[in-house]
Structure 1
Amino acid sequence: MKALTDRHDPARPEWTCTATEHPWPCTVARTALLAQFANDRRGLILHLGARLADAIDDFAAQTHGDVPPGLTDRFMGWVPELPEEPAEREGACASLRGPRKSIRAGDRAEAAALQKF
Protein backbone atom coordinates (compact mmCIF):
# COMPACT_ATOMS: atom_id res chain seq x y z
CA MET A 1 0.00 0.00 0.00
CA LYS A 2 1.34 3.42 -0.88
CA ALA A 3 1.51 6.27 1.60
CA LEU A 4 -1.55 8.48 1.45
CA THR A 5 -1.24 12.27 1.42
CA ASP A 6 -3.57 15.23 1.84
CA ARG A 7 -3.13 16.16 -1.81
CA HIS A 8 -5.62 14.76 -4.28
CA ASP A 9 -3.22 14.44 -7.21
CA PRO A 10 -3.17 11.63 -9.76
CA ALA A 11 -0.78 8.76 -9.04
CA ARG A 12 0.57 7.59 -12.37
CA PRO A 13 0.47 5.27 -14.19
CA GLU A 14 -2.61 3.83 -12.47
CA TRP A 15 -4.39 7.21 -12.22
CA THR A 16 -5.66 6.86 -8.67
CA CYS A 17 -5.92 9.69 -6.17
CA THR A 18 -2.84 10.01 -3.96
CA ALA A 19 -5.06 10.83 -0.96
CA THR A 20 -7.99 8.42 -1.34
CA GLU A 21 -6.75 5.79 -3.80
CA HIS A 22 -10.04 6.20 -5.67
CA PRO A 23 -9.96 6.73 -9.44
CA TRP A 24 -8.68 10.21 -10.23
CA PRO A 25 -10.19 12.76 -10.33
CA CYS A 26 -11.86 11.89 -7.03
CA THR A 27 -14.69 14.00 -5.62
CA VAL A 28 -12.29 16.26 -3.70
CA ALA A 29 -10.07 16.72 -6.77
CA ARG A 30 -13.10 17.62 -8.87
CA THR A 31 -14.21 20.21 -6.33
CA ALA A 32 -10.69 21.66 -6.18
CA LEU A 33 -10.45 21.78 -9.98
CA LEU A 34 -13.81 23.53 -10.24
CA ALA A 35 -12.60 26.13 -7.74
CA GLN A 36 -9.21 26.50 -9.46
CA PHE A 37 -10.82 27.01 -12.88
CA ALA A 38 -13.95 28.80 -11.62
CA ASN A 39 -13.71 31.56 -14.22
CA ASP A 40 -12.05 29.52 -16.94
CA ARG A 41 -14.20 26.57 -18.03
CA ARG A 42 -12.26 26.23 -21.28
CA GLY A 43 -9.03 26.07 -19.28
CA LEU A 44 -10.52 23.29 -17.14
CA ILE A 45 -11.53 21.34 -20.24
CA LEU A 46 -8.07 21.77 -21.77
CA HIS A 47 -6.41 20.72 -18.51
CA LEU A 48 -8.59 17.63 -18.16
CA GLY A 49 -8.16 16.78 -21.84
CA ALA A 50 -4.39 16.84 -21.43
CA ARG A 51 -4.64 14.62 -18.33
CA LEU A 52 -6.97 12.28 -20.24
CA ALA A 53 -4.43 11.98 -23.05
CA ASP A 54 -1.72 11.17 -20.49
CA ALA A 55 -3.96 8.56 -18.87
CA ILE A 56 -4.75 6.93 -22.22
CA ASP A 57 -1.04 6.70 -22.96
CA ASP A 58 -0.30 5.25 -19.50
CA PHE A 59 -3.08 2.67 -19.62
CA ALA A 60 -2.30 1.69 -23.21
CA ALA A 61 1.37 1.16 -22.31
CA GLN A 62 0.46 -1.01 -19.30
CA THR A 63 -2.15 -3.13 -21.06
CA HIS A 64 -0.85 -3.41 -24.61
CA GLY A 65 -3.36 -0.92 -25.97
CA ASP A 66 -6.39 -1.51 -23.77
CA VAL A 67 -7.96 1.51 -22.08
CA PRO A 68 -10.53 1.19 -19.28
CA PRO A 69 -14.11 1.72 -20.43
CA GLY A 70 -15.61 5.02 -19.37
CA LEU A 71 -12.26 6.80 -19.11
CA THR A 72 -13.37 9.82 -21.11
CA ASP A 73 -16.51 10.18 -19.01
CA ARG A 74 -14.44 9.82 -15.83
CA PHE A 75 -12.20 12.71 -16.84
CA MET A 76 -14.63 14.93 -18.75
CA GLY A 77 -18.21 13.87 -18.02
CA TRP A 78 -18.53 15.68 -14.71
CA VAL A 79 -17.65 19.17 -16.00
CA PRO A 80 -20.79 21.30 -15.76
CA GLU A 81 -22.16 22.77 -18.95
CA LEU A 82 -22.54 26.50 -19.23
CA PRO A 83 -26.06 27.80 -19.80
CA GLU A 84 -26.34 29.18 -23.29
CA GLU A 85 -28.21 32.38 -23.96
CA PRO A 86 -30.70 32.21 -26.87
CA ALA A 87 -29.12 35.30 -28.47
CA GLU A 88 -25.70 33.64 -28.39
CA ARG A 89 -27.09 30.57 -30.16
CA GLU A 90 -28.71 32.69 -32.87
CA GLY A 91 -25.54 34.75 -33.27
CA ALA A 92 -23.41 31.65 -33.66
CA CYS A 93 -25.72 30.22 -36.31
CA ALA A 94 -25.90 33.52 -38.15
CA SER A 95 -22.14 33.85 -38.19
CA LEU A 96 -21.84 30.36 -39.64
CA ARG A 97 -24.37 31.08 -42.36
CA GLY A 98 -22.62 34.25 -43.54
CA PRO A 99 -19.17 32.85 -44.37
CA ARG A 100 -20.64 29.65 -45.78
CA LYS A 101 -22.25 31.57 -48.65
CA SER A 102 -19.03 33.32 -49.57
CA ILE A 103 -17.10 30.05 -49.40
CA ARG A 104 -19.56 28.39 -51.77
CA ALA A 105 -19.27 31.29 -54.22
CA GLY A 106 -15.48 31.06 -53.99
CA ASP A 107 -15.59 27.31 -54.61
CA ARG A 108 -17.69 27.79 -57.74
CA ALA A 109 -15.29 30.42 -59.07
CA GLU A 110 -12.31 28.18 -58.35
CA ALA A 111 -13.97 25.20 -60.02
CA ALA A 112 -14.79 27.30 -63.08
CA ALA A 113 -11.20 28.50 -63.28
CA LEU A 114 -9.87 24.93 -63.01
CA GLN A 115 -12.11 23.73 -65.84
CA LYS A 116 -10.31 26.10 -68.22
CA PHE A 117 -7.09 24.10 -67.82
Structure 2
Amino acid sequence: MDNIDEWFVTRDLAEFRENAHEWRRCSSNASRKRFTKDTGVRWSELLRLSYFDPIKFIVIDPMHCLFLGIARWIVKRIWVDEGILNQQSFIKIQKKMDEFQIPSDLGRIPGKIHCGEGFSNFTADQCIIMVLI
Protein backbone atom coordinates (compact mmCIF):
# COMPACT_ATOMS: atom_id res chain seq x y z
CA MET A 1 0.00 0.00 0.00
CA ASP A 2 2.92 2.36 0.58
CA ASN A 3 3.91 2.56 -3.07
CA ILE A 4 0.52 3.39 -4.61
CA ASP A 5 2.25 5.29 -7.43
CA GLU A 6 3.68 2.00 -8.65
CA TRP A 7 0.32 0.22 -8.90
CA PHE A 8 -0.66 1.55 -12.31
CA VAL A 9 2.29 2.22 -14.56
CA THR A 10 1.63 3.21 -18.17
CA ARG A 11 3.13 0.72 -20.57
CA ASP A 12 5.60 1.72 -23.23
CA LEU A 13 4.07 1.37 -26.72
CA ALA A 14 7.34 0.38 -28.41
CA GLU A 15 7.98 -2.32 -25.80
CA PHE A 16 4.38 -3.53 -26.12
CA ARG A 17 4.69 -3.85 -29.90
CA GLU A 18 8.03 -5.66 -29.58
CA ASN A 19 6.51 -8.10 -27.09
CA ALA A 20 3.58 -8.68 -29.44
CA HIS A 21 6.00 -9.55 -32.25
CA GLU A 22 7.89 -11.85 -29.87
CA TRP A 23 4.59 -13.58 -29.08
CA ARG A 24 4.10 -14.26 -32.79
CA ARG A 25 7.55 -15.83 -32.95
CA CYS A 26 6.74 -18.33 -30.19
CA SER A 27 6.80 -21.82 -31.66
CA SER A 28 4.05 -23.50 -29.65
CA ASN A 29 0.82 -22.76 -27.83
CA ALA A 30 2.50 -23.61 -24.53
CA SER A 31 5.31 -21.10 -25.12
CA ARG A 32 2.75 -18.47 -26.13
CA LYS A 33 0.81 -19.06 -22.91
CA ARG A 34 4.00 -18.70 -20.86
CA PHE A 35 4.98 -15.57 -22.77
CA THR A 36 1.54 -14.02 -22.25
CA LYS A 37 1.64 -14.88 -18.56
CA ASP A 38 5.07 -13.24 -18.22
CA THR A 39 4.41 -10.10 -20.29
CA GLY A 40 0.63 -9.74 -20.42
CA VAL A 41 0.94 -9.23 -24.18
CA ARG A 42 -0.20 -11.21 -27.19
CA TRP A 43 -0.49 -10.42 -30.87
CA SER A 44 -3.48 -8.67 -32.41
CA GLU A 45 -4.01 -7.99 -36.09
CA LEU A 46 -4.86 -4.42 -35.09
CA LEU A 47 -1.16 -3.92 -34.38
CA ARG A 48 -0.58 -3.92 -38.15
CA LEU A 49 -2.22 -0.48 -38.19
CA SER A 50 0.55 2.04 -37.56
CA TYR A 51 -1.80 4.43 -35.76
CA PHE A 52 -3.28 1.81 -33.44
CA ASP A 53 -2.21 2.28 -29.83
CA PRO A 54 -3.46 -0.65 -27.73
CA ILE A 55 -2.57 1.19 -24.54
CA LYS A 56 -4.59 4.34 -25.23
CA PHE A 57 -7.35 2.76 -27.31
CA ILE A 58 -8.36 0.10 -24.81
CA VAL A 59 -12.03 0.00 -23.85
CA ILE A 60 -12.68 -0.96 -20.25
CA ASP A 61 -15.54 -3.40 -19.95
CA PRO A 62 -17.41 -2.27 -16.83
CA MET A 63 -18.92 -5.63 -15.96
CA HIS A 64 -15.79 -7.75 -16.08
CA CYS A 65 -13.26 -5.15 -15.11
CA LEU A 66 -15.04 -2.86 -12.70
CA PHE A 67 -17.70 -5.03 -11.14
CA LEU A 68 -15.78 -8.31 -11.11
CA GLY A 69 -12.16 -7.25 -11.02
CA ILE A 70 -11.30 -3.80 -9.79
CA ALA A 71 -14.18 -3.46 -7.34
CA ARG A 72 -13.23 -6.69 -5.61
CA TRP A 73 -9.58 -5.72 -5.64
CA ILE A 74 -10.36 -2.34 -4.05
CA VAL A 75 -12.47 -3.95 -1.36
CA LYS A 76 -9.85 -6.59 -0.56
CA ARG A 77 -6.59 -4.65 -0.89
CA ILE A 78 -7.66 -1.23 0.35
CA TRP A 79 -10.72 -1.63 2.54
CA VAL A 80 -10.14 -5.05 4.13
CA ASP A 81 -6.35 -5.42 4.19
CA GLU A 82 -5.92 -1.89 5.53
CA GLY A 83 -8.49 -2.48 8.26
CA ILE A 84 -11.04 0.05 7.02
CA LEU A 85 -13.65 -2.72 6.85
CA ASN A 86 -13.74 -5.65 9.24
CA GLN A 87 -16.18 -8.43 10.09
CA GLN A 88 -18.36 -6.11 12.19
CA SER A 89 -18.49 -3.62 9.31
CA PHE A 90 -19.64 -6.32 6.92
CA ILE A 91 -22.40 -7.36 9.31
CA LYS A 92 -23.59 -3.73 9.58
CA ILE A 93 -23.49 -3.32 5.80
CA GLN A 94 -25.49 -6.52 5.35
CA LYS A 95 -28.14 -5.35 7.84
CA LYS A 96 -28.50 -2.06 5.94
CA MET A 97 -28.70 -3.84 2.60
CA ASP A 98 -31.39 -6.17 3.95
CA GLU A 99 -33.56 -3.10 4.67
CA PHE A 100 -33.72 -2.17 0.98
CA GLN A 101 -36.42 -3.39 -1.35
CA ILE A 102 -35.67 -3.35 -5.03
CA PRO A 103 -37.89 -4.30 -7.98
CA SER A 104 -37.79 -8.02 -8.65
CA ASP A 105 -36.67 -7.53 -12.25
CA LEU A 106 -33.38 -6.10 -10.97
CA GLY A 107 -32.50 -9.28 -9.14
CA ARG A 108 -31.88 -9.98 -5.51
CA ILE A 109 -30.00 -7.90 -3.01
CA PRO A 110 -26.66 -9.57 -2.39
CA GLY A 111 -26.60 -11.66 0.75
CA LYS A 112 -23.83 -12.97 2.93
CA ILE A 113 -21.57 -9.97 2.50
CA HIS A 114 -19.92 -10.95 5.76
CA CYS A 115 -18.79 -14.30 4.34
CA GLY A 116 -15.37 -14.69 2.80
CA GLU A 117 -13.41 -11.52 2.15
CA GLY A 118 -16.40 -9.25 1.70
CA PHE A 119 -18.05 -8.98 -1.69
CA SER A 120 -15.84 -11.82 -2.94
CA ASN A 121 -18.79 -14.11 -3.56
CA PHE A 122 -20.80 -11.55 -5.55
CA THR A 123 -21.81 -12.01 -9.17
CA ALA A 124 -21.53 -9.09 -11.60
CA ASP A 125 -25.26 -8.37 -11.20
CA GLN A 126 -24.93 -8.32 -7.42
CA CYS A 127 -21.97 -5.94 -7.64
CA ILE A 128 -24.04 -3.60 -9.80
CA ILE A 129 -26.91 -3.71 -7.30
CA MET A 130 -24.47 -3.07 -4.46
CA VAL A 131 -23.11 -0.01 -6.25
CA LEU A 132 -26.61 1.27 -7.01
CA ILE A 133 -27.76 0.85 -3.40
TM-score relative to the length of structure 2: 0.27
TM-score relative to the length of structure 1: 0.30
* More relative contact order, 1 or 2 (CA 8 Å, 6+ apart): 2
- Computing the radius of gyration from Cα coordinates, the structure with the larger value is 1
